[in-house]
Amino acid sequence: MIGYVDTLPAADLLSLDVRGLHYSYPDGHVALRGVDLTVPRGGRLALLGPNGAGKTTLVLHLNGILAGGAGTVTVGGLTVDRDRATLAEIRRRVGIVFQDPDDQLFLPTVAEDVAFGPANLGLRGAELEARVVEALDAVGMTEHRDRAPQHLSFGQRRRVAVATVLAMRPEILVLDEPSSNLDPAARRELAAILRRLPVTLLMVTHDLPYALELCDRSVILDAGRIVADGTTVELLADPELLARHRLELPYGFDPTLAARQLATHD
pLDDT tens-digit series, residues 91-143: 999 999 999 999 999 999 999 999 999 999 999 999 999 999 999 999 999 99
Query: At what angle are helices 154-166 and 110-120 packed, to 10 degrees?
Result: 20
Per residue in 142-159, pLDDT (tens digit) is 999 999 999 999 999 999
* CATH 3.40.50.300 corresponds to the domain 11-265: yes
- What are the residue ranges spanned by the domains of the chain? 11-265
pTM over 0.95: no
Mapping DSSP to helix (H, G, I), strand (E, B) and coil, where does residue 39 land? strand
Spans in the chain with pLDDT lower than 70:
1-12, 266
Tallying the residues shown for the chain, one arrives at 266
Q: Strand 44-48 vs strand 217-222: parallel, antiparallel, or unpaired?
A: parallel
